[in-house]
Structure 1
Amino acid sequence: MFKGKKSFFAAVALASAMASVATTANAQEAYLGGNLALVEYSEDGIGEDASVTAGYVRFGGFLNEYLSVEARAGLGFNDDRVNVSGIPVDFELDNLLGGYLRAGYPVTDQLYPYVVGGFTRVEATVSVEGFGSETDSGNDVSYGLGADFAVTEAVKLNAEYISFYSKDGADFDALSFGVSTSF
């Protein structure tokens, strides 16, 4: 599934550093939110993609009007069964953790489109009935685009498409919707 494993602790350290920068940059512009994501996993040589639902928490802060840093931590909520050469295989997203930079432009007081880039660590498990399971993890550069929609001055809705992981023939892509509050 993944190749070239890297340390879980390196991802935790990166996310912690990003969150620390966010809170010290401008405490009045910090935010906390959550997203529900529709995650698709695809792998070269496997004709069928796995689709799972995940949720993640976002903690970040604006450095200025155009840039923010953000840490994310999430879990998969379900698994999906796909057929690999006629054999049913269960796929489960165990967790994801990452640090990101968002660059955007406030088009209006209510609309803030942005691009996002960063680094994500993902962990997933595949299982074959009667043969057991295997858990693997990997790290990769992540990128995407999205928009925040202000409902009030402190509450924002969010929609985003992101490629969390795309390396060694394996891809994790997600479309997510969420809400955040600034403090």
Structure 2
Amino acid sequence: MRTINHIAVVSVLALGSSGAAFAQTPSGGDIYVGGQAAFLVFDDSEQDDVDFDDAELIGLLARGGMYVNEHLSVEGRAGIGVGDDTVTVRPVGGGPDVDTDIELDYLVGGYLRGHLGLEDILSFYGVVGYTSAQISIENEFVSESETESGGSVGFGVDVYLGDSTILNFEFMSYYSDMNALNIGAVYRF
């Protein structure tokens, strides 16, 4: 996760300082579609009877939205897991450790993004919304899926690469048990 953070920071700085990054900022009525790679951390630490390390999952998200004005956009996202993780579950009261597979089945949500643009190069933003996700957990004793939902918050930066293409780097807390570093791109109409 640390390497991804370094790559994101260097990329934003390099693209933001290049002359090729100047573009027209989004305005009210602009529609965009795109996708993100989501590097998720799932931590279901509220379980009373078991303890396990964070599961690191990978998801692919489709995004679509519309700018209400240059400072506000409304967005929907839907995604699936493409990379699962195996963690060791330790029963709190004792008993054998169990290797457990954890996988993101789906994630859907709706969000408002507030933007602060900088000279047609970058836009910093905050995100608020609501997310629902289904996680599958499987080991030799149990195979189940649980759906969790909750309020979402995050922040990020859009890097404008011409009038239509926007690169995106963002941190999201989708709900209390799931955080992510997302990297993606959108095409604006």
2:57 corresponds to: 52
1:105 corresponds to: 116
- The match for 1:172 among 171, 174, 178 is 178
Question: What is the TM-score with the length of structure 1 in the denominator?
Answer: 0.81
2:36 corresponds to: 35
Whether 2:160 is the aligned partner of 1:150: answer yes
Q: Provide structure 1 residue ranges, at least 5 long, that are not aligned to the other structure.
A: 1-24
Question: What is the TM-score with the length of structure 2 in the denominator?
Answer: 0.78
Q: Which is higher, the Rg of structure 1 or of structure 2?
A: 2
The answer to whether the 8 A contact 2:33-2:63 is kept is: yes
- The match for 1:128 among 129, 139, 142 is 139
- Displacement of 1:26 after TM fit? 4.7
User: What number of residue pairs does the alignment pair up?
Assistant: 153
Whether 2:97 is the aligned partner of 1:91: answer no
Q: Deviations over 1:38-83 (max 9, x none)?
A: 0000122524100011010110010011000000000000210000
- Displacement of 1:132 after TM fit? 4.1
User: 3-state SS of the aligned residue for 2:51?
Assistant: coil
Distance between the aligned counterparts of 2:168 and 2:61, measured in 1? 13
Q: CA RMSD of the aligned region, Å?
A: 1.3
User: 3-state SS of the aligned residue for 2:118?
Assistant: coil
Displaced runs of 4+ in structure 1, greater than 3 A? none
Indicate the percent of aligned positions where both proteins have the same amino acid. 37
1:16 corresponds to: none
Whether 2:187 is the aligned partner of 1:181: answer yes
The answer to whether the 8 A contact 2:28-2:70 is kept is: no
Distance between the aligned counterparts of 1:160 and 1:112, measured in 2? 12
The answer to whether the 8 A contact 2:52-2:87 is kept is: no
